[in-house]
A = this chain, B = another copy of it.
Amino acid sequence: MSANSAFSKLDALSRRLEAIEHAQSMLGVDEAVMMPVGGGEKRAEAMATLAGMYHEMATAPQVGDWLADAEAEPLEEIQALALREFRRVYTNMTCLSAEFVSRQVNARIRSEQLWRELRPTGDWKTFLPAFEGIVATAREEALLRADVLGLTPYDAMMEQYDPGNRVADIDPVFAGLKTFLKGFVPEALAHQQERLARRPLKPLNAPFPIDRQKALGLVMMEAIGFNFDHGRLDVSHHPFCGGVPTDIRMTTRYTEGEFLTSLMGTLHETGHGLYEQNLPHEWTHWPVGRARGMAMHESQSLFVEKQIARSAEFWEWAMPHVRETLGEEAIAGWELDDVLAHVHFIERGLIRVDADEATYPLHVILRYEIEKDLIEGRLAARDVPEAWDACMREYLGLSTIDNMKDGPMQDVHWPSGALGYFPSYTLGAIIAAQLWAAIERDHPAARDDMRHGRFVALNDWRRDKVWCEASKYSTPELLRRATGEALSAKHFEEHLRQRYLA
């Protein structure tokens, strides 16, 4: 590849963009972990300026010329795949006009600020005009994207988060899962009630000193394969996994009264971290070198949290470590079933982020159905509370009609204009179970490995099938290549049955 080729120009540009992203990413981490309150204003200014420079560089007209020219150049296979991703990213970044983006940013800022103010009291009426503005611009965005991408409006919105995800494929999967869960949740709850009647939930022997909890998290992270030469664990109010692939910054938060929530959260983020740490190192600066998308990323965190860290086999290995690190008295007299009763505890609730793996998909499917209808014009913004309440009553037997705070005002996604993102969460859960089934098929000792704290084979499989593939393929294609199957909830349903009805 000559230094003057169009592809080389894209390559050089992507190195500059990577440097800006590196800065943005680390500044974001610093803001959450280290920054004193008075640093916020200038930080926001610097971040906005860097974002503007990034956008200007990434969408400059000559980039379009380089793409067209590179498409006529002789390329190696990986370069051709890279070029396809360069094109996809460029198209997604340039399909909205500057005038529209500026209007949308204003609507989003206004709506998100108002939401932060009004959420505590659930004042939907005051929030509605801003929300109507959000829905109107989201519809406009969807139409603009749909036009350029040749997709339906909602598919065009999902395309930003998970390339290749289509309503036509997801609708039947979600519909089937919904039917399953509407029956499964009551059955699992009844089963749990019986189990707890026989063997009551043992209380945790708090307090658990935070330095001990942190030590336990580090032991588990390391065992599961997190590389501390290329990452670290800190504390922030909202746990996240940030940084860059060579330097992953994970956070968690602790409370002395309880250690399981923080530990499970840490392991969830570890799943994200493993994906990033194991992306191919040679082309981190190309879009094709990035993690595939939100659903696949969530599948990796849920794989570690739900498939590994909430399994009985994992706890066979983990309990001695808990005793060793938190002290014998932390879970004095506990048997395996006592800890499983905690990590498998399920209940119906109003709040998505507090939901367990059995009820969570119903929260997501509700949002998916509503936001699809909003985008495609079948539902008006003002009718969301009734639609929400109807779904909640049908899916979980709970009503939110008098509680907007814990109903349609609970999530930041819509107020900030992110429509099309919600399905990724449950697609992640489905994919995680599907990957587990494929691993067990290829590596029958998988469960036994966990019993002995051996995670190498589990990681090797995902490195080979998912992590190293980065963004070479669309989300459905990557899944099909990894598992030999199209998206299917059957493994997830089987996983739930095994865990909650056995």
Which positions in A face B, CB cutoff 8 Å? 15-16, 18-20, 22-24, 26-27, 30, 33-39, 41-43, 45-47, 49-50, 53, 227-232, 234, 243-247, 249, 284
Could you tell me the distance between the alpha carbons of A43 and B30 in the complex, rounded to whole angstroms?
15
The answer to whether A22 and B43 touch across the interface, beta carbons within 8 angstroms, is: yes
**Least CB separation from A21: chain B residue:** B46
The answer to whether B230 and A38 touch across the interface, beta carbons within 8 angstroms, is: yes
The minimal Cβ–Cβ distance linking A27 to chain B, given in whole angstroms, is 6
Could you tell me the distance between the alpha carbons of A123 and B33 in the complex, rounded to whole angstroms?
43
The answer to whether B36 and A230 touch across the interface, beta carbons within 8 angstroms, is: yes
The answer to whether A229 and B46 touch across the interface, beta carbons within 8 angstroms, is: no
The answer to whether B42 and A246 touch across the interface, beta carbons within 8 angstroms, is: yes
The minimal Cβ–Cβ distance linking A331 to chain B, given in whole angstroms, is 29
The 25 listed contacts between A and B (C-beta, < 8 Å) are A15-B45, A15-B49, A16-B53, A18-B46, A19-B45, A22-B27, A22-B42, A23-B23, A23-B46, A26-B27, A26-B30, A30-B30, A35-B247, A36-B229, A36-B230, A36-B231, A38-B227, A38-B229, A39-B230, A39-B244, A41-B246, A42-B244, A42-B246, A42-B247, A43-B247
**Least CB separation from A228: chain B residue:** B36
The answer to whether B26 and A232 touch across the interface, beta carbons within 8 angstroms, is: no
**Least CB separation from A284: chain B residue:** B42
Q: Which of A38, A39, A43, A53 has the most CB of B within 10 A?
A: A39
Q: Which residues of B contact A37 (CB under 8 A)?
A: 229
**Least CB separation from A24: chain B residue:** B23
The minimal Cβ–Cβ distance linking A175 to chain B, given in whole angstroms, is 44
Could you tell me the distance between the alpha carbons of A97 and B272 in the complex, rounded to whole angstroms?
46
Could you tell me the distance between the alpha carbons of A26 and B50 in the complex, rounded to whole angstroms?
14
The answer to whether B247 and A50 touch across the interface, beta carbons within 8 angstroms, is: no
The answer to whether A49 and B16 touch across the interface, beta carbons within 8 angstroms, is: yes
Q: Which residues of B contact A227 (CB under 8 A)?
A: 38
Could you tell me the distance between the alpha carbons of A49 and B20 in the complex, rounded to whole angstroms?
9
Could you tell me the distance between the alpha carbons of A229 and B230 in the complex, rounded to whole angstroms?
30
Could you tell me the distance between the alpha carbons of A36 and B229 in the complex, rounded to whole angstroms?
6
- State whether A22 and B34 are in contact (beta carbons under 8 Å apart), knowing that A16-B53, A53-B16, A246-B39 are contacts in the complex: no
Extra contacts besides A26-B27, A30-B30, A36-B231 (15): CB < 8 Å: A16-B53, A18-B46, A23-B27, A26-B26, A26-B30, A34-B34, A36-B232, A36-B247, A37-B229, A38-B230, A39-B246, A42-B244, A42-B246, A42-B284, A43-B247
The minimal Cβ–Cβ distance linking A146 to chain B, given in whole angstroms, is 34
Could you tell me the distance between the alpha carbons of A90 and B7 in the complex, rounded to whole angstroms?
34
Q: Which residues of B contact A22 (CB under 8 A)?
A: 27, 42-43, 46
Q: Which residues of B contact A34 (CB under 8 A)?
A: 33-34, 232, 234, 249
Q: Which residues of B contact A23 (CB under 8 A)?
A: 23-24, 27, 46, 50
**Least CB separation from A48: chain B residue:** B19
The minimal Cβ–Cβ distance linking A192 to chain B, given in whole angstroms, is 42
The answer to whether B30 and A46 touch across the interface, beta carbons within 8 angstroms, is: no
Could you tell me the distance between the alpha carbons of A474 and B488 in the complex, rounded to whole angstroms?
71
- State whether A38 and B232 are in contact (beta carbons under 8 Å apart), knowing that A16-B49, A26-B30 are contacts in the complex: no
Q: Which residues of B contact A20 (CB under 8 A)?
A: 50
**Least CB separation from A42: chain B residue:** B246
Could you tell me the distance between the alpha carbons of A496 and B22 in the complex, rounded to whole angstroms?
49
The answer to whether A50 and B19 touch across the interface, beta carbons within 8 angstroms, is: yes
Could you tell me the distance between the alpha carbons of A42 and B230 in the complex, rounded to whole angstroms?
11
